[in-house]
């Protein structure tokens, strides 16, 4: 029997995944700096954070975040500060004279550092928790066991997001020859930095 609710959920998840957000900005930054390795490590960190949010939703943490203003406010500030840090760092790096990334590849960042950037970008965004707790229950059919269904929906969303981020990041790496020259690289860093700062400010100021 075809699960039309799950198909509908997958369709909406695809639309949400391709919408630009802070995670996509972090993937772009690491794709330009570290190539395919950076993409895979960053997206793996994001995927782990999504699975964490899914699990938290299933056991009721997201409901707590929605009703507890103090916890939600604290997480918003953490997420905003981290995005702001990444944005300022990208802007500062854009001021330094830059050689061609392909001719003078920078030292590879530790794998755990790149992975951590992806993880923190997604785990510190409380809007994901609110999204899961308000959106997922709409696709739980009458009579279904709630916990298994929520896990199924959450994992579906996480897998779709993971696949999209990898496709996007690998596409960016294919364009490195065109966009990693010194002049273009500086502008890309500036744009990425401004985007990250913008998302951080919106996360800090917007009512969730």
Can you tell me the distance from the alpha carbon of 65 to that of 188, in angstroms, rounded to the nearest whole number? 35
Burial of 22 (0-12, 13-18, 19+ CB in 10 A): buried
Q: What is the pLDDT of residue 188?
A: 65
Contacts of 35 (CB under 8 A, 6+ apart): 173, 176
Determine if residue 68 is left, alpha or beta; phi over 0 gives left, psi from -120 to 50 gives alpha, anything else beta.
Answer: beta
Q: Which residues contact 9 (CB under 8 A, 6 or more apart)?
A: 139, 153, 156, 157
Residue 110: pLDDT over 90: no
- Judge if pTM exceeds 0.75: no
Give the angle 76-132-87 at the CA atoms, nearest 5°: 35
Instruction: Convert the pLDDT of each residue in 45-84 to its tens digit.
Output: 999 998 888 888 777 755 655 566 566 566 566 656 766 7
pLDDT for residue 178 = 60
The more confident residue out of 140 and 68 is: 140
Can you tell me the distance from the alpha carbon of 31 to that of 42, in angstroms, rounded to the nearest whole number? 9
First to last CA, the chain: 37
**Each residue's pLDDT tens digit, 152-204:** 888 999 899 899 999 988 888 887 656 555 666 677 667 777 776 776 676 56
Q: Supply the pLDDT for residue 103.
A: 46
Measured CA to CA, the distance from residue 1 to residue 24 in angstroms comes to: 35
Quote the CA–CA distance of 142 and 188 in Å, as a whole number: 49
Residue 172: its pLDDT value, please? 83
Residue that wins the pLDDT comparison between 8 and 41: 41
């Amino acid at each position: 029997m075809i699960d039309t609710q799950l198909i509908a959920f997958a369709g909406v998840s695809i639309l949400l995944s391709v919408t630009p957000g802070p995670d996509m900005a972090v993937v772009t930054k690491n794709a330009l700096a570290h190539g395919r390795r950076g993409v895979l490590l960053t997206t793996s960190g994001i995927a782990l954070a999504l699975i964490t949010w899914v699990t938290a939703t299933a056991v009721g943490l997201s409901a707590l975040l929605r009703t507890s203003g103090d916890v939600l406010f604290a997480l918003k500030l953490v997420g905003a500060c981290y995005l702001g840090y990444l944005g300022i760092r990208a802007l500062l790096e854009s001021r330094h004279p830059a050689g061609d990334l392909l001719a003078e590849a920078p030292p590879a960042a530790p794998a755990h550092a790149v992975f951590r950037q992806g993880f923190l970008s997604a785990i510190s965004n409380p809007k994901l928790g609110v999204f899961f707790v308000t959106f997922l229950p709409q696709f739980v059919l009458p009579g279904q066991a709630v916990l298994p269904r929520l896990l199924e929906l959450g994992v579906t969303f996480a897998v779709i997001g993971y696949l999209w981020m990898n496709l996007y990041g690998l596409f960016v790496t294919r364009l490195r020859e065109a966009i990693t020259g010194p002049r273009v690289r500086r502008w890309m860093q500036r744009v990425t930095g401004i985007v990250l700062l913008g998302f951080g400010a919106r996360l800090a100021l917007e009512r969730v």
